[in-house]
Amino acid sequence: MSVWEILLLAVALAMDAFAVSICKGLSTKESYLKTGLVCGVWFGFFQALMPFLGWLLGSFVAEYVARFSSYIAFALLAFLGIKMIVEARRECACCECSEEEAQKNASLGARTMLAFAIATSIDALAAGVTFAAMNVNVVLAISMIGVTTFLCSFIGASLGAKIGERWKYGAELAGGIILILIGLKILIEHLVTLFA
């Protein structure tokens, strides 16, 4: 994977955190600066941690699946992309719930943020498995993913506080499409070299 492909992957993976940050910005009574920093740190850290854990897991099985790495990368990225597109069609849970649930979701407390951070970074764990199979520079990849997610989360919280949730759907949809396109590119490159 090139640096540009890793950057595109980082942006795509950050879209879930971006969408949740918009909801946080909409629902919290804290300043957008505090909300942005809290969301950025939590989501950025977990989005960097999960691909690293996925890479560790993938490293144990990489030699056994090396012949199929392009197919595995395509399947995982396409699955994640489709999942993200499907989820984009759902309304933000924190924007249409009871008053009690809304207050819980608006919280920036450790327990609430941990739950959101894990939920938004599970996709990154699966993407990290592909890093081992594709011989990706894992330090560069997780750094780019973490920093990109931090920035997207900060921006998302600010947008949520200022203009509302209209960006949420488009962000998740774009992230899903980007993941599918990266997966297709990997598969096509593999097939071209296979039959060349």
Query: For residues 147 and 133, which has the higher predicted lDDT (pLDDT)?
Result: 147
Mean pLDDT of all residues belonging to the chain: 79
pLDDT of residue 168 exceeding 70, the answer is no
Give dist(CA 109, CA 93) in Å, integer. Answer: 18
* 16-25, 35-44, 104-113: least confidently modelled range: 104-113
Which ranges of the chain does DSSP label H, i.e. alpha helix? Answer: 3-27, 32-65, 69-88, 99-106, 110-134, 138-162, 166-195
User: How confident is the model at residue 133, as a pLDDT?
Assistant: 74
Dihedral sign (CA 153, 155, 158, 164): negative
Q: At what angle do helices 99-106 and 3-27 cross, to 10 degrees?
A: 130
Taking only the tens place, the pLDDT of each residue in 141-152 is: 999 999 999 999
Task: Tell me what the mean pLDDT of segment 157-180 comes to.
Answer: 71
Please report which confidence band the pLDDT of residue 45 belongs to, taking 50, 70 and 90 as the band edges: very high
Classify residue 174 as exposed, middle or buried by CB count within 10 Å of its CB (0-12, 13-18, 19+): middle
Domain ranges of the chain: 3-195
Query: For residues 190 and 101, which has the higher predicted lDDT (pLDDT)?
Result: 190
Task: Tell me what the mean pLDDT of segment 31-44 comes to.
Answer: 90
Whether the full predicted model's pTM is greater than 0.75, yes or no, is no
Q: Which of 24, 69, 20 is nearest to 46 (CA)?
A: 20
Give dist(CA 147, CA 135) in Å, integer. Answer: 21
pLDDT of residue 128 exceeding 80, the answer is yes
